[in-house]
Chain A
Amino acid sequence: MFDGDQEGNTLTEPTRMQAELPHPPGVIAEEALPSRLPSPSQPKTHPYTIPKLYQWLLVASVFMAVWLSYVAGYFKTSLRQEYHDIILVLPLYLLMTFASYSLALLGYRVATFNDCKEAAEELQEDVKEARKDLERKGYKYASDWQ
């Protein structure tokens, strides 16, 4: 879930749930139109994936509803005393699990970060060369950047 922006996190365009229309007889085919003009006969669909945050909130609220109804005694159960003790502590336990998972994932990403030192130094050399070249050609710098 920390994989970055692979699923839609924000809604950028309004959803249009129109099916793809076939070509009416008098309409020019889309390939014949210049590419910069919008094609009126085939509007594109914009699939909307629910952001991860809302997915997690949905799961959390469903779980809290079930758990609260159990704790408040809205239905009769015949569980052993140990199971009852564990269910009472479940939200806190799940929170601790989530915290330790995120800490472990953070540490793992830090430890396996692909830091290319040679590429960084090469980039610095390129920057210096470009700067010298431009100064030779008479370019004046408004701000001094490294």
Chain B
Amino acid sequence: MDQAVGWSFVSLAGFVFTYYTIWVIVLPFVDPDQPIHNFFLPRFYAIAGPLVAGVLALCMIGAFIIYVSVSKKLKKS
């Protein structure tokens, strides 16, 4: 079971890396009329997507920290 989770992480990381690499680095050199562009969103989302995901991640981390500290304070009082 643990092995399945581990290998799924590895494959997900590999897929994300290759997709993002093709999106950001390979596609600018490809002519706009090639069909491969249909698999990728406009370049704007290559920057907006990770930024929004990063902001969401930071918000969730902050919310978790606040939750833990507040619950600890309530437990003490």
Say how far A65's CB is from chain B's closest CB, in angstroms. Answer: 21
Contact between chains at A103 and B2 (CB < 8 Å): no
In the assembled complex, A13 has its CB within 8 A of some CB on chain B: no
A29 on the interface (CB 8 Å rule)? no
Known: A85-B28, A89-B46, A92-B51. A108 touches B12 (CB 8 A): no
B29 contacts across to A, CB distance below 8 A: 82
Interface: A111 (CB within 8 A): yes
Q: Is B24's CB under 8 angstroms from A107's CB?
A: no
Known: A110-B2, A113-B2. A86 touches B24 (CB 8 A): yes
Q: Is B17 an interface residue (CB 8 A)?
A: yes
B5 at the A interface (CB under 8 A): yes
Among the 9-residue stretches A30-38, A40-48, A93-101, A137-145, the one with 4 or more Cβ atoms under 8 Å from chain B is: A93-101
Minimum C-beta distance from A67 to chain B (A): 15
| Interface size grouping (class) on chain A | 20 to 34
The answer to whether A96 and B28 touch (CB under 8 A), given A103-B9, A108-B6, A110-B6, is no
B6 touches A107 (CB 8 A): yes
B contact residues around A107 at 8 Å (CB): 5-10, 12-13
**Which B residues contact A (CB, under 8 angstroms)?**
2-3, 5-10, 12-14, 16-17, 20-21, 24-25, 28-29, 43, 46-47, 50-51
17 A-B residue pairs with Cβ-Cβ distance under 8 Å, sorted by A, are A86-B25, A89-B24, A89-B46, A92-B51, A93-B20, A96-B20, A97-B17, A101-B17, A103-B10, A103-B16, A107-B5, A107-B8, A108-B6, A110-B5, A111-B7, A111-B10, A113-B2
Q: What 17 new A-B contacts, CB under 8 Å, besides A82-B28, A107-B9?
A: A85-B28, A86-B28, A92-B51, A93-B24, A93-B25, A96-B17, A97-B17, A97-B21, A100-B13, A103-B10, A103-B16, A107-B13, A110-B2, A110-B6, A111-B2, A111-B3, A111-B6
Chain A positions near chain B (C-beta within 8 angstroms): 82, 85-86, 89, 92-93, 95-97, 100-101, 103-104, 106-113, 115
